[in-house]
């Protein structure tokens, strides 16, 4: 099926990028930084923590986009905030809605770079797939994003902003405790390698997990890495979310081709870091993502090697049918081959759900994301937004 063209829609969302007009964004700031920002505007230091709590609630619990709406702040303070700061989200360039309800947003950020964010509705949850970089540096051969050069890292404001954009579009603000939230889960599986932008990702997720705002449980946030081994322990220590490993092969020879970062940190080093993961337990298993590529990594021998490699690691294996993209060098494994692979994994005691492709008709499925950011790469770097 051909992907539907991305056609801009008129949405009731902000149309400017963050940092517009030279204003600093309050979105994505940690609480201490927000307190400091309020002191800068003239709030007395002893009152700043209380005012920060109020601003925090307006931004992340109520979803306001205008300081004027913060009715429990004085008019003078609201005016001073508007002079110095912004609450702008990333600009929504386009939105597509799949036949299965999946939504893909093309978002423009400061400097003109673009990223994609995907919302996947399910009966028991609503998952938002968030990007951490404009482009990617890893060049994984099965991934469409890997064919796009890295432009820069996203800021914490731009990462949190993706959540706010989705909640704006879905009307997900102001729900009562008995109403189910539409954005209930976040996965850092969009464009980019999160662990090559660790500090911004950590800061953004700490904002997302704050109980007085977006209030996402740490166990409803999953960070996926291709294997930046030195940073993996920090995920457990400093973020505390669930961990997923973009694994995809059972020998270094094959993984070197599929996931080139393997040449720097091979399978043995990667699995050692998984075994040492600070939050590893049967209740918080590591997810090993395994894209099924016909004739490449889908044999019974691969399945048997996989379960031997991860022996002793509380884990589940997500089998991901390859999602094709224009010019892709691979084909999706046949359904019976995926089923046979899964049976071997199951018999070894590991759950091995097969991920149902979502949003294929709008190129929103796993491995298909790619923005048009190459055309602004030089301009973005020249403007001082380089990674």
Which of 19, 88, 91, 116 is catalytic? The answer is: 116
d(CA 23, CA 46): 25
Beta strand 315-321 with 114-121 is unpaired
Alpha helical stretches, state H, 68-194: 75-84, 156-170
Active site residue 116: yes
246 φ, ψ (degrees, to nearest 5): -80, 90
Active site residue 140: no
Name the burial class of residue 10, with classes exposed (0-12), middle (13-18) and buried (19+) by CB atoms within 10 angstroms of its CB. Answer: exposed
Closest to 25 (Cα-Cα) out of 212, 204, 166: 204
Q: Which residues have a catalytic role annotated?
A: 116, 366
């Amino acid at each position: 099926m051909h992907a539907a063209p991305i056609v801009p829609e008129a949405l009731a969302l902000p149309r400017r990028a963050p940092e517009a007009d030279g204003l600093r964004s309050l979105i994505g700031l940690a609480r201490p930084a927000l307190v400091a920002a309020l002191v800068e505007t003239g709030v007395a230091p002893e009152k700043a923590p209380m005012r920060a709590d109020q601003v925090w609630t307006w931004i992340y619990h109520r979803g306001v986009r205008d300081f004027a709406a913060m009715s429990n702040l004085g008019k003078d303070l609201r005016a001073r905030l508007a002079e110095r700061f912004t609450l702008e989200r990333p600009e929504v360039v386009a939105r597509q809605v799949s036949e299965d309800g999946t939504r893909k947003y093309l978002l423009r950020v400061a400097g003109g770079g673009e990223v994609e964010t995907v919302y996947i509705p399910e009966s028991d949850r609503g998952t938002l797939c968030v990007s951490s970089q404009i482009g990617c540096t890893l060049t994984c051969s099965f991934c469409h994003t890997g064919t796009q050069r890295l432009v820069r890292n996203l800021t914490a404001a731009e990462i949190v902003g993706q959540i706010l954009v989705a909640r704006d579009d879905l009307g997900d603000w102001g729900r009562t405790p008995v109403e189910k939230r539409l954005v209930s889960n976040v996965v850092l599986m969009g464009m980019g390698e999160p662990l090559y932008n660790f500090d911004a990702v950590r800061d953004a997720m700490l904002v997302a997990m704050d109980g007085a705002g977006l209030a996402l449980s740490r166990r409803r946030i999953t960070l996926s890495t291709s294997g930046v081994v030195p940073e993996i322990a920090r995920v457990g220590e400093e973020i505390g979310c669930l961990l997923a490993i973009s694994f995809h092969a059972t020998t270094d020879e094959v993984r070197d081709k599929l996931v080139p970062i393997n040449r720097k940190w091979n399978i043995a080093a990667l699995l050692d870091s998984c075994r040492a993961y600070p939050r590893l337990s049967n209740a918080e298993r590591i997810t090993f993502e395994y894209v099924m590529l016909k004739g490449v990594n889908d044999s019974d021998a691969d399945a048997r090697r996989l379960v031997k490699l991860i022996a002793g690691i509380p884990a589940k294996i997500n089998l991901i049918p390859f999602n094709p993209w224009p010019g892709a060098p691979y084909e999706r494994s046949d359904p019976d081959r995926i089923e046979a692979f899964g049976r071997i994994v199951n018999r070894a005691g590991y759950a091995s759900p097969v991920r149902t492709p979502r949003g294929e008709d709008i190129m929103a499925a796993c491995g298909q994301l790619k923005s048009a950011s190459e055309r602004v790469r030089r301009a973005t770097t020249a403007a001082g937004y380089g990674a």
